[in-house]
Structure 1
Amino acid sequence: MHFRKISIYSLGLALVLTSCSGKKEEEKTVYENTKFAKNDQNTVHLTDKQQQTIGVTTVTIQNRNMEKLIKLNGKAEIAPSHISSVSSIMGGHIKSIHVISGSHFNKGQVLAVVEDPQFIQLQQDYLVTKAQLEAARLNYNRQKDLNSSKASSDKTMQTALADYSTLNATLRGLEEKLQLIGINVKGLHTGNIRSRINVYAPFTGFVSKILVNNGQYINPADTLFELINPAGLLLELKVFENDMNDVKPGQEILVYNNQNPEHKSSAKIISVVPSIEERGSATAIAKLSSVNSGFVKGMYVNAEVSISSRYTPGVPNEAVVSFENKNYVFEDLGNSDYKMIPVITGTSDDQFTEIIKADFLKNKKIVQKGAYSLLMMLKNKAE
């Protein structure tokens, strides 16, 4: 009786070991005992057992309407043409500063006040020259009348004309200088001469940098402020290589920032840099449709590009496999031989992947189910 129990136990153990051994042998049949046709590193041959295990099915290139939503990300930057350095036309001491870094300002707003005695001298020279010019004008008219009756010489009249012309040119030059520093010469007289001038904002925008402080002496070449014109805000977006054919200048896109993802603003792609960077992406430049204070220089942004429906060739997603950042399909050559072919993919959705320049695959049998298993076999072969 005891002997029978041992025999039954031994028999059961033998059956279990046989079952495990059978499963391992089946796996080896699929992945290790693979034969390769014609010694081609891109072609694999399946045995009857492998065909049954993998269950290969095939399709052909087909056309269908596709829509695609491409998501991009990048940063907001300012075009160099919209970053301005502001300086004073003439040197002097900074009397006061009316803005802080990051503050908003309007066109014509006073940014700072500069003080120097040379401003007084310039206004004084203008008023003196203006008075001298009036006297020279009267003298020239008098000499011209006298010369017409030969009561004065031609030389005297010519000297009077030269004095008048010289003073007139000097006055015009002083007038231009005063206008450059913001002093209106039409209302200037001896009672309102001032020692200070204002530095005005040339446009509406934001203060990026303040490079001076109160009391500091500045030269005409010194930069006082760096100003940003938000109208020059650009979005530098990364476009992956697979999406390059779908992202084009002129496309309308929606953009948003991470702080407020529900609020989306419209923008337009104005250019795509025709080069691929080391990480496999290109740069698309977009511009907001209207000035939006919610986007500032250096901010990370996201964008959505909606590709309109189009009729395009492709295959089911399952038929496309990827290896080392490249895409492939397998062609059924017949007689259980399958060849891996590189392809360029385009738009894709939840079921279908576009194949770019797919004419060479026309009428070929493309593996759908089993494509990944065939790829694994080729990888094992390579190893």
Structure 2
Amino acid sequence: MQFKKISIYSLSLALILSSCSGKKEEEKTVYENTKFTKGAENTVHLTEKQIQSVGLTTTSIQNRNMEKLVRLNGKAEIAPSHISSVSSIMGGHIKSINVINGSHFSKGQVLAVVEDPQFIQLQQDYLVTKAQLEAARLNFNRQKDLNTSKASSDKTMQTAQADYSTQNATLKGLEEKLRIIGINAKGLNTGNIRSKINIYAPFSGFVSKILVNNGQYINPADTLFELINPAGLLLELKIFENDVNDIKVGQEILVYNNQKPDLKSNAKIVSVVPSIENGGSATAVAKLSSVNSEFVKGMYINAEVNISSRYTQGLPNEAVVSFENKNYVFEDLGKSKYKMIPVVTGISDDQFTEIVKADFLKDKKIVQKGAYSLLMMLKNKAE
């Protein structure tokens, strides 16, 4: 009784192993029994059984209208021309700072106040020179009248004229110095001389850096603030090599950040760098159509570019296969022979892929279903 049980168990195990072995052999049949044409590395010859197993079908190059949505990603940056360093024209002590890092400011807003006795001296020099100029003007006019009646020599008149011109030039210079530190010389008098000057914002924007503190003495060359003008926000986007020819200057795009993917803003491609980097991508630069505070320097952003519909030549997606970053199709040579041909692809949609310069495929039968299986057979051959 025990012997019978063992015999039945052994027989069952042998049948199972035989069944598994049969399935594995059947799975290998398509690849191991594949015949390859001698001297043609990219050509494969199938048996009728293999053709039926793979389910090969063929198609041909087709003309059709195609659209393409290209997705890009990158970072928001600020154009160097819109990053400004602000300093004081003259040295002094920081009396007060009216902004903080990241704060928004408007054009003409007082960012800081600087104090120093030299501001008093400059205003004093202006008022003294102004008075001296008036005296020199009167003296020159008097000497000119005396010279007309020969009561004064030409030399005396010329000296008076030179003194008047010198005082006038000195006053103009002092007036300009006062202007650039924010003091209106026209309204200056002995009753409103001040020891402080204001540092004004040259445009509306955001504070990027504050490099001083209250009480610190600054020199004219010292940078007080680094300011960002958001009007100079640029979007640096990466373009994959396959999409480079589709991205053009002037194209309208939609951009958004990862935090708010449903909030999309309009932008326009303003530049495309004509070179492919080591990572296999090029760079496009876009600019927002209007200032948007949602986008800040350093933020990762995404973009969508809708390529206009165009009439072109293409093949069904499954007819195009990729290997080692190159694209191929298989031509049906007849008599169960199939040849792998390299192609350059363009735009693609859910069903078709554009074939660039596809005239050489005209009137050729191209494998549609089963193209990937043929690629695997060639890879198996190479191994």
- TM bucket (normalised to shorter chain) is over 0.9
**Cα distance in 2 for residues equivalent to 1:192 and 1:97:** 23
Taking structure 1 as reference, are residues 17 and 195 closer, same or farther at Cα in structure 2, changes over 3 Å only? closer
How do 1:341-360 residues align onto structure 2 when only pairs under 5 Å count?
A: 341-360=341-360
How do 1:60-75 residues align onto structure 2 when only pairs under 5 Å count?
A: 60-75=60-75
Q: Is structure 2 residue 42 aligned with structure 1 residue 39?
A: no
Deviation at 1:38, TM superposition (A): 2.6
Taking structure 1 as reference, are residues 140 and 7 closer, same or farther at Cα in structure 2, changes over 3 Å only? closer
**Cα distance in 2 for residues equivalent to 1:229 and 1:5:** 89
Structure-2 residue corresponding to 1:377: 377
**Cα distance in 1 for residues equivalent to 2:18 and 2:308:** 59
How do 1:303-314 residues align onto structure 2 when only pairs under 5 Å count?
A: 303-314=303-314
Q: Is structure 2 residue 80 aligned with structure 1 residue 77?
A: no
Letter paired with 2:118: Q
Instruction: Tell me which moved more, 239-248 or 81-90.
Output: 239-248
**Cα distance in 2 for residues equivalent to 1:307 and 1:237:** 16
Letter paired with 1:36: F
Q: Is structure 2 residue 232 aligned with structure 1 residue 232?
A: yes
Structure-2 residue corresponding to 1:158: 158
Structure-2 residue corresponding to 1:222: 222
**Cα distance in 2 for residues equivalent to 1:374 and 1:38:** 17
**Cα distance in 2 for residues equivalent to 1:137 and 1:150:** 20
Q: Render the CA deviation track for 1:208-246: whole Å, top value 9, x for unaligned.
A: 000111111111111100000000000011111111121
**Cα distance in 2 for residues equivalent to 1:322 and 1:197:** 68
Taking structure 1 as reference, are residues 5 and 181 closer, same or farther at Cα in structure 2, changes over 3 Å only? closer
Unaligned runs of 5+ in 2: none
How do 1:52-67 residues align onto structure 2 when only pairs under 5 Å count?
A: 52-67=52-67
Taking structure 1 as reference, are residues 210 and 4 closer, same or farther at Cα in structure 2, changes over 3 Å only? closer
Letter paired with 2:47: T
**Cα distance in 1 for residues equivalent to 2:191 and 2:9:** 123
Q: Is structure 2 residue 321 aligned with structure 1 residue 302?
A: no
**Cα distance in 2 for residues equivalent to 1:20 and 1:131:** 114
Letter paired with 1:202: P
Deviation at 1:71, TM superposition (A): 1.4
**Cα distance in 1 for residues equivalent to 2:171 and 2:343:** 76
Instruction: Tell me which moved more, 174-183 or 29-38.
Output: 29-38
Q: Render the CA deviation track for 1:51-89: whole Å, top value 9, x for unaligned.
A: 121121111110111122111111110000100001000
User: Identity over the aligned pairs, expressed in percent?
Assistant: 85
Letter paired with 1:89: I
User: What's the TM-score, normalizing by structure 1?
Assistant: 0.95
Deviation at 1:309, TM superposition (A): 1.5
Letter paired with 1:70: V
Q: Render the CA deviation track for 1:305-355: whole Å, top value 9, x for unaligned.
A: 111221111100000111122211111122211111121211111111111
Partner secondary structure for residue 113 of structure 2: strand
State the Cα RMSD in Å.
2.0
**Cα distance in 2 for residues equivalent to 1:188 and 1:16:** 109
How do 1:89-238 residues align onto structure 2 when only pairs under 5 Å count?
A: 89-238=89-238
How many residues end up aligned between the 2 structures?
Answer: 383
Partner secondary structure for residue 245 of structure 2: coil
User: What's the TM-score, normalizing by structure 2?
Assistant: 0.95
Unaligned runs of 5+ in 1: none
Instruction: Tell me which moved more, 364-373 or 238-247.
Output: 238-247
**Cα distance in 2 for residues equivalent to 1:32 and 1:65:** 41
**Cα distance in 1 for residues equivalent to 2:94 and 2:282:** 46
Say if 1:29 and 1:49, in contact at 8 Å, map to a contact too: no
